Amino acid sequence: MSSGRLDASKLVLQIIGKSPEVDRAVIEEASRLLNDEKVDPRVAKYVRLPAPLVQQGLRVARRRFAGLEGVLDVHWGLRERAGAFHGQPCIVVTVSRKLSRSTLAAAERIPRSIGLEMEGYQRRVPIDVQPVSEPGELHAGDARPGNYGRVLRPDGGQVGALVEVGGQIHLLTAGHVVGAEGLRGRAQALTGKEFDVGVGQKVVVDERGDVGRMGPLTPEAADYLGSLAPKKVRDPVLGDQGTTFQLLLHREPLPVPALVKSPIRSALFRWQGEDVEMQGLCGLEKVTRAGDSGAPVLDAKKERIVGFVIGTYGRETVIMPGRRAISVAT
C-alpha cells in the first residue's frame, strides 16, 4: 500500500475517532485514495461509491463475466470472508462452485477489482466471487413462500418462507420478529389455526440485513403455513428498477403490487437501542405497515422469491434480498 493510501486510511480513522457525527463528505474524498482491495476493515463500512460508478461497474462486470462457465449472477452486495459478510460494498459474482485461480485459464479468471474512470478520478471497484453454497450447507435455490401466516410474537410479523435445514422444516421471517435465539414462538395460519413453530434458531440484524429462523416445524404446521409448491429464489438487481414486485401480505386477499424504486440501497434501522446500517437492500414504493415484517416478496410474474419485508424507511418499503436472506439464516 502506498504512503498516499495509508495516509488516507489514517485520516478516515482519525475522523471517526474524533467525532461521533462522522463527516461523510470528508470520508468520501479520503476514500478516493484508498485501494478498495486492501481497505482497512475499520474504514471499509464508511467507504461509499457513487451510484453512477456502481452502475457502470455492474455493466462492465456483467459484460465481462456473465457468460463465463459457472457464473450464476452478477450483482451489488457485500464482501464475504470466512463465511461472514463484512461492511465493504462490492460487485458480487455468484458462482456454482468456487475454483482455485491456479486451475483457471487467464480468460476465465475474475479479477479482484476493475478500474473505472469517473469525473477525472481513477477508481477501483472491488469484486468478490461467492459460491451459492458450500458442501454440507443448504442450497438457497428453492423455498416455499409463506402462505399468509402470522408469527405471534410481541413484534409480530409474517411467515416469510419455509426451508429445510438438516432434514427438518424451519420458518423464516425478519430477525427482529424472532427476537432472540432460544425463544419459543407460535404462528397462525390463514385459517386461524395456531401452531407451535419451535424456537429461534438464528437471529441476524446487522449490516447484512434482518432475518431470523425458527423451528423445527411439524409436518402439519408446514402444510398450513407454507405454500404447496417451492419457488426459485433470487436477489433484486438494477434491472428490476421500474418493474413491479408482488407482496404477500396477510391482511390482503391478493398479492399487493409495489413499484421497485431503489433496487440496491442502504437503510438505517434501530435495533436494541443501537443504529444498524444495512447494506444491499431493495426499496419499493411504501405499501407496508407494522406487522408486515418478514412477508415474502415475489417478482412481477410471481415465479420467484426476490426478498422479504424488513420494514419502512422514509417513503419506501425495504426488503432483504431473497437469496442472501436464506443463505444468512441457514
- Spatial neighbors of 87 by CB under 8 A, at least 6 apart, are 41, 44, 45, 78, 207, 279
Q: All domains of the chain, ordered by start, with CATH?
A: 3-12+20-131 (no CATH), 138-330 (2.40.10.120)
In the chain, which residues have pLDDT < 70?
1-51, 82-88, 119, 121, 132-141, 228
Instruction: Please report the pLDDT score of residue 74 as a whole number.
Output: 80
Q: The C-alpha cell of 236 is what?
A: 433484486
Q: How far is CA 174 from CA 165, 188, 294, in A?
A: 17, 16, 5
Task: Report the pLDDT value the prediction gives residue 162, as an integer from 0 to 100.
Answer: 95
Buried b (16+ CB within 10 A) or exposed e, 12-21: beebbeeeee
To the nearest 5 percent, what fractions of the chain are helix, strand and coil?
20, 40, 35
The whole-number pLDDT of residue 134 equals 41
Residue 34's pLDDT is 44
**44-52, long-range: CB within 8 Å, 24+ apart, which pairs?**
44/79, 44/86, 44/87, 44/88, 45/86, 45/87, 45/88, 45/207, 45/277, 46/12, 46/16, 46/22, 47/88, 47/89, 48/24, 48/89, 49/89, 49/123, 49/125, 50/118, 52/118
- Total-model pTM: 0.63
Give the whole-angstrom CA distance, residue 107 versus residue 65: 10
Q: What is the pLDDT of residue 87?
A: 55
Q: What is the DSSP letter of 89?
A: E
